[in-house]
A and B are shown apart, each in its own frame.
Chain A
Amino acid sequence: MKYEHCIRCTICVENCPVFRVNPDFPGPKQAGPDAQRFRMEREKSVDKWVLLCSQCKRCNMACPCGVEPAEIILRAQQKYGLQHPRTLAHLLFANNYYLSALGSLTAPVANKIAAMKIGKKIFHAMGIATYIPFPKFSFKTMRGKNKRKAKAAKRVALFYGCFINFYRPDIGRKIIRLLESFNVDVVLPPQWCCGLPALGNGNLTIARYFAQKNAASLSNYIDAGYEIIYTCTSCGLCLLHDYPGILEMPQGKKIAENTRDLHEYIIGLIDDGYIEPQFGEVKRKIAYHIPCHLRALGIGYPAAKIMKMIPGLECEIFDDTCCGLNGSYGFKKTNEATAVQLGNRAVSLIKKTKAENIMADCGSCRMQLGGLSGMEALDPAEVICESLGITGEK
């Protein structure tokens, strides 16, 4: 940790979305490098406000000195989580994978209950916010489509992420069709939650448990000559940044080196001359909300490059605003006010442009912005598929 490199310029504070709306959070400078000086390894953690950090990583990106306040806070969150009794909401969201798996298995019933008054009451009693509708579980998930073809020159293993798997497998299937239309073989390796929700809820043990399972599985596929493709930028950041970092996976470096964003991969195919996609016209104005974690990946905005190739499409970039949901962060009652204020601000900026759709790479951003604005929020892959005339059905 490089907390001593901080020169107290407060650029991180200016960039902190939580600090902007929640006076209880002292901001990344104080919660990160400033407080770190007083955090003794053997002393019990007392700074409960570290849990107010949403881990959007904007402070890391803004810092001119490479301090990475979010990393310092992330570690403080893990320590706090370990030493204090966890709230029910924290425990549930850390295990979001199993919760969603259960919800998906019982989708017809679970969705009904979640939409009913009694469901909302149950959520509130558990400390879960319901200002936007809880996403609908999908009974069909991505599983069971694991056929290896190994004919094309390019082979990828898709890390689709929980959001697509449990809520929107239709997008996942579109992505598979899309890659197949580019003459790329797609397989779905055995996979679990990336571990980010557990980290975000201060549960390093569960995060490592998931990471170990994924790391072993993905590592096998890499050895077999597959590149790993992620579509959710938060899963991506976890695989690339946290697996070799805080989660200390021995295969972490290998996974990071062989894992790419879907759109980055497609740009690569075009750059190499492997494909020459003929994009059809999509006449629409789209507000492209850049997920904080896409920014943090440091790969630019690859989907924006593809959008520029689509005739008729007007795509305006919004990368100053955080949607406020941050995965499970905004679903906790304690963070609801923060999440709603941030989300409304992002929506008000988007609405000024008269865009017809919102687009975002991250499922939770889409859920938040779509829910608060009432506009349709799309995955960039959906727009690409529309342009190329690819539908989800075979």
Chain B
Amino acid sequence: MSVTQHDVIIIGAGVAGLTAGAVLAEKGCNVALVAKGEPTACLSTGCIDICSLDHEPLHGIGHLPEEHPYHLVARAVIREAVDRFGKITDEMGLPYVGSLETNRRILAALGTFKNTCLVPSTMAAAPQDEKDDLHIITFSGLKDFYPSYIIARRGNASFSTYEAGADTTMGLAANFERHDFLEKFILWLEKIKIPENKIAFPAVLGLESAARIAQKIESSVGKKIFEIPTIPPSMPGRRLFNVLKDYFRKKGGVIYWSWPVSGVEKAKNIVEAVITPSDGRPQSLNAKAFILASGSFVGGGLHARRDTIVENIFNLPVFVPGKRDDWFDSDYFALNHGIGKAGIIADSSFRPKEAPWENVFVCGGILAHTEVLKNGCGHGLALATGHAAAASCLEYIK
């Protein structure tokens, strides 16, 4: 079995895993990150929800039930995590705006508002109320983005359609990365003479250069522009994933893709290595400590059986919210599904409770009692707990 020694191995390449990884790599640790596939961050709006229940996110956190994992993280650490995130995204060319003091709104594709905290600069100009009049640009053939939904909710909006030669978010974003396409598009935009004071686009304005592209359009037409998140494939989510990943690598982190962890090697209460069943012979990676950031159900961290919920890598005890009947609310669109509480309960050092492991830490969506949808706290919780778990892990290996 091939063996390589690391200080820390992180399982999962989502916001939590990449955050923890970057913190450790910055402190000079030899960090490897293993991932089965791509994280659900790629499916997200790219916005950082800290806590959407209240106008002030920190205030909202204060009102969360006492078992919520946010309470394991000191306020100062949450602030530090958010500041650091701002610095990283600035450095990597995907600036975010917003502050921990107040939530802000972005416009959703249905014309409704979504409460969030930090938004990419391409969504910064989203209207905060009904007053702004909008012009919406869409692209012919683009599915699941219908300006009429927004217009039906706001009287002061109209739309135009551009023929872009692509009809998917991915294809459009690739086109916007091309200089000639962008020039031609801006010419068209200037020609149609938009009377409204703000212009809205589905979130397809490029991949790695989105901030720059949005700026260029804005300065050419002399109006504020902003993006509206689409259903997946979501470009803002992918941009977020890309910058966090690139930053982790830049700090010396190593990533192993298509590396699903199938088991562990252990001695007493120490995990020594994780194993993957690659084609041919199993591969293993050794480390002094492990951080589990494998997400919840969609990310593959938790698995629901007929009558229980399991975690397959370390076989950690999982908090199961009652019997199967209690997992789901009868209203499909309710945010109150009991299953949102399922996950791993961590102690204040972010080690899993009631598990024998000394050198295993957990963070992110796999934690219990998060109720991410109800509380609007997905990426924010990932940032905060990723940070805190990394700090705890660092203390352990030093």
Contacts and interface: CB of A to CB of B under 8 A. Distances in A.
Contact of B3 (A240, A244, A271, A296): A271
A241 B233 contact: no
A111 interface: no
B256 A317 contact: no
Interface stretch (A15-23, A48-56, A126-134, A173-181): A15-23
A65 interface: yes
Contact of B4 (A65, A271, A349): A271
Given A9-B43, A298-B259, A240 B280 contact: yes
B38 A15 contact: yes
B166 interface: yes
Q: Which of A297, A300, A305, A320 neighbours the largest number of chain B CB atoms within 10 Å of its CB?
A: A300
A64 B280 contact: no
Nearest to A295: B257
A345 B174 contact: yes
B38 A62 contact: yes
Contacts of B170: 13-14, 16, 19-20
Given A9-B43, A10-B43, A298 B257 contact: yes
Given A61-B257, A62-B38, A64-B36, A20 B2 contact: no
B2 A264 contact: yes
A63 B37 contact: yes
B232 A11 contact: yes
B18 interface: no
Contact of A240 (B38, B258, B279): B279
A320 B245 CA distance: 11
B279 A297 contact: yes
A58 to B, nearest CB: 9
A92 interface: no
A319 B245 CA distance: 11
Contacts of B4: 267, 271, 305
A60 interface: yes
B196 interface: no
A264 B4 CA distance: 11
B238 A300 contact: no
Main secondary structure of the interface of B (DSSP, over half): loop
A268 interface: yes
B283 A299 contact: yes
A19 B169 CA distance: 10
B128 interface: no
A267 B167 contact: no
A20 B40 contact: no
A256 interface: yes
Contacts of A257: 280-281
A66 B299 CA distance: 11
A143 to B, nearest CB: 27
Interface string B39-59: 010110000000000000000
Given A11-B38, A14-B42, A14-B233, A298 B174 contact: no
Nearest to B36: A64
B279 A241 contact: yes
A291 B188 CA distance: 39
A64 B37 contact: yes
A64 B257 CA distance: 12
Contact of A64 (B38, B177, B281): B38
Contacts of A268: 2
Interface in A271-329: 271, 295-301, 304-305, 317, 319-320
Contacts of A21: 171, 174
B258 A61 contact: yes
B174 A11 contact: no
B37 A61 contact: yes
A259 interface: yes
A304 B232 CA distance: 32
A10 B276 contact: no
A9 B231 CA distance: 10
A317 to B, nearest CB: 7
Nearest to A11: B38
Contacts of A19: 168, 170-171
Contacts of A7: 298
Q: Which of A23, A296, A299 neighbours the largest number of chain B CB atoms within 10 Å of its CB?
A: A299
Given A23-B171, A296-B258, A300-B256, A11 B283 contact: no
- The list of the 8 closest CB pairs from A to B, nearest first, reads A256-B280, A240-B279, A298-B278, A14-B233, A61-B258, A10-B232, A62-B38, A298-B258
Given A23-B171, A237-B279, A304-B254, 6 more contacts: A19-B170, A23-B167, A61-B38, A62-B37, A267-B2, A300-B283
7 contacts: A64-B37, A256-B280, A259-B280, A271-B3, A295-B257, A298-B279, A319-B257
